[in-house]
Every structure is written in structure tokens, then in C-alpha cells.
Amino acid sequence: MSSIRLLFHRIEENWNYKYKIIKTVIDWTVLVYLVIPAAIITIMVYKSWWTDPPAWIESVPFPLLFAVFFFLLWGGYFKTYVREADIIFLRKNEKLMIGMKQGGIIVSYLSEALSAVLLGLFISPIWMNHYGLNFKQLMLFFGIWVSLRWGIMAVNGQLNVHLRGWRSLVRSIPVVVGAAAIWWISYEAFQSGSLLSVFLIVVFNGIVSMLLMKKRFTSIHTFEQDLSIDEKDKNKYTEMIFGLSMDIEKLPKPRPLRKSPRLYSKSNRIFKKRTQRNGFLEIFIKVATRDTVYIRGYLQVFGVTAAAIVFVPPTWLKITIAATGFFFLNIWIGSVWHKLIGSHPFTKKYTGEEGYVKGKNLVTTVLSIPFLIMCAFNVWILHMFRSLFPFF
């Protein structure tokens, strides 16, 4: 087997693995009610941007757009598609292993360039219609962006990927400061219209990334680091996908031992009146508020829907997104309730009781009220404000 065939076999395995994970989260109901409508709405919104830029872009100056893309620089690695078992066979076949690693790194370069192209296509209507910039400037902007991203990915490949907590934060400070300085110089060069300066920055970033990647590109002695990077990328993707589904049982994350929890440390009662409904509510509130996973999940549904409503211009699309978000929120609340109450060994035998149903309905109502208020504010109140105050 040649290095190219082995590389493409590993890439195919990687995509099949991701596809199987996605299938465990996105079943046919989610596909029909969420993914397909979201794709259609996205295409329609994107098409409308070419004829009528969204109103929210008026409050986004060009420097802020530059700042937003700075945060999109992070989170990537150059992958080499090595596996743990390769230490037995491929390390004895250095030529085959180095060829596969080189192909993986080149694929990573090309995939990041493709991401830059897709991002460029996405913002091109705003770039040209609102900011009045041309296609050449768009190419230069994303040339700067992808070359600096290559440099950051190369630096990340030299660091210890196992560090966590404050050590990881301290280690990343020089990287962030250095990247911010280069990004600021790039902005100044771009604003001045100096094409030569922009081109030199792109070349500099590309050369730095290649120099930092030279050892991983030409040697098998970085096997442990390559393996750690690939496993981290794989596990990060898996945790992200599994986190979208409340039906998949996850292994509990290790946590430091505490004598008592931060909330309800004395397990004090929340409701003075002791009824079956209040008992279920108390269990749900204590468990859900003690675990940030559930709080973060609720805020994610809340935030994503709010952002989508703000970004799309037509009122009917805002209402459609609000209805879809409300439908998804109810599914999520029901899933969390079933996980914490309905499937627990001590409470699942009471699922047919009146108090169980009343408790679930009350939780759904209470958690839906802030969501509905947010949707109403974004759909109607902001529309009214903008009609009365055009500058708002």
C-alpha cells in the first residue's frame, strides 16, 4: 500500500466515524423539522443579502468585522492521521509513514484554504454591497486570515496538548499576543491599501508555519505529539456532537471532590408546601442547576435562536425561526426532564402520576416564558423601535 492510498483510507475512516456519530444525534425527525428548514432558510437569507443587506450590518463597522475574524483564527491543528497501532508497523516503514504524514499536513493546509474560500463566499455580499470593497481586497483579506491561521496551527502543534486549566491559559498568552500584533499590523496594511505590505505579511505567515511544521513534516520522531493532536481533535469533535444529544449516555467527567455542593449545600427545601408536584420540581431544580451542562444547553438554544432572529431581515422568517426554536426548546426540556426524572431508578415508577405530569408541564411553561419574551422582543419590539427610530 502506498502512502497516498493509506492517507485516503485514513481520511475515509475519519469521515465514516464522524458520520456514525452524527447519525446518533440527528435522526429523521431532527433532519425533517430542523436541519432541512434551516438549510433552506439559510440559502434564502443569503440570496436576499445580495439584493438587500441585512439591517443589523449598519451597526457593524469594518474594524469590528476584522476583530470578529480574529476569533475565528483559533481551534485548529495540522492533522497527520496517525493511529496508536502505527508505532508497531509504520515506524519500521519510515518512508510510508512520512509520506502519509506529509499528505495529511498538505490536506490540512488545503482544507483551511477551502474554509477561507467558503467564508469569503459567505460574506461577499456584505463585503461588496455594504462596505463597497472589491473582490481583490476580499482575496487579500482571506489570504491574511488563512496564512495567520496556518501559523497559529503550526504553533499549537509545538505545544503540549495535554495541559489544562491555568497552565494552558498562561502558555497561550504569548501566542494570543503575538497573533493579535500580526493581525493589527495586517489591518493597518489593509487599510492603507498597500498591496505589497499585505502580500509580504501573507508570505511571512506562510513561511513561519512551514518552518514550524518542518520537523513534523520530515520526521517520525514526533509520533507521540502527532498522535496526541489527532486524538484530541477526534475527542473534541465527539464531545461536541454528543453534547447536542441528551439521549446519549455520557461518561461522567472527573470532578474534584467536595464536602458539599455549591448550591443547596444543606439540601434545604425549596418549597414549603410538600406535594408530589413540588417534590418532582425540587429534584429537577437541584439537579439541573448544579450541573452547568444543562444550564449551558438552555442558553445555547436561547442564544442561537436570538442570533438567528436578529440576523434574518424578513419578519416572516423571524417568526418561522422563533417557532422552530420553540419547538426544539420543548423537545430539549422534555429530554432533560426524562433524563433526570423519568428514567431515574427512584422516580421512573411515578411517571404516570398526576404530580409528575404537572411538574413537567410547569417546568416547560416556566422555561418557555423567557424564550417567548425574547422572541417577541426581537420580532416585534425591535421592528417597532426601528420604524420609530431609524438610527436604532
Sign of CA dihedral 378, 383, 386, 388: negative
CA distance 99 to 79: 13
pLDDT value for 204: 93
Q: Please state, for a pLDDT cut of 90, what percent of the chain lies above it.
A: 12
- Let me know if residue 259 belongs to a domain: no
**Grid coordinates representing 316?**
416572516
Same domain, 27 and 104: yes
CA distance 108 to 123: 23
Long-range contacts of the stretch 339-345 (C-beta < 8 A, 24+): 339/246, 339/247, 340/283, 340/284, 340/287, 340/288, 341/280, 341/283, 341/284
- Let me know if residue 324 belongs to a domain: yes
- Let me know if residue 346 belongs to a domain: yes
Domain count, the chain: 2
Name every residue whose Cβ is closer than 8 Å to that of residue 34 and which is 6 or more positions away in sequence: 324, 328
- Let me know if residue 266 belongs to a domain: no
Name every residue whose Cβ is closer than 8 Å to that of residue 282 and which is 6 or more positions away in sequence: 269, 270, 271
**Averaged over 50-60, what is the pLDDT?**
76
Same domain, 230 and 330: no
Q: Please state, for a pLDDT cut of 70, what percent of the chain lies above it.
A: 80
Mean model confidence pLDDT for the chain: 79
Under a CB-based contact definition with an 8 Å cutoff, are residues 304 and 321 in contact?
no
Same domain, 228 and 92: yes
Same domain, 227 and 360: no
For 230-274, the pLDDT digits (tens) are 888 777 766 665 555 544 444 445 454 455 555 555 556 777 777
- Let me know if residue 262 belongs to a domain: no
Same domain, 234 and 365: no
For 3-47, the pLDDT digits (tens) are 888 889 888 988 888 777 777 666 665 666 667 777 777 788 788
For 136-167, the pLDDT digits (tens) are 888 889 999 999 999 999 998 888 766 665 66
Range of the domain at 188: 3-243
For 86-104, the pLDDT digits (tens) are 877 776 788 888 888 899 9
Same domain, 239 and 356: no
DSSP-based three-state secondary structure for 83: coil
- Let me know if residue 260 belongs to a domain: no
Same domain, 185 and 82: yes
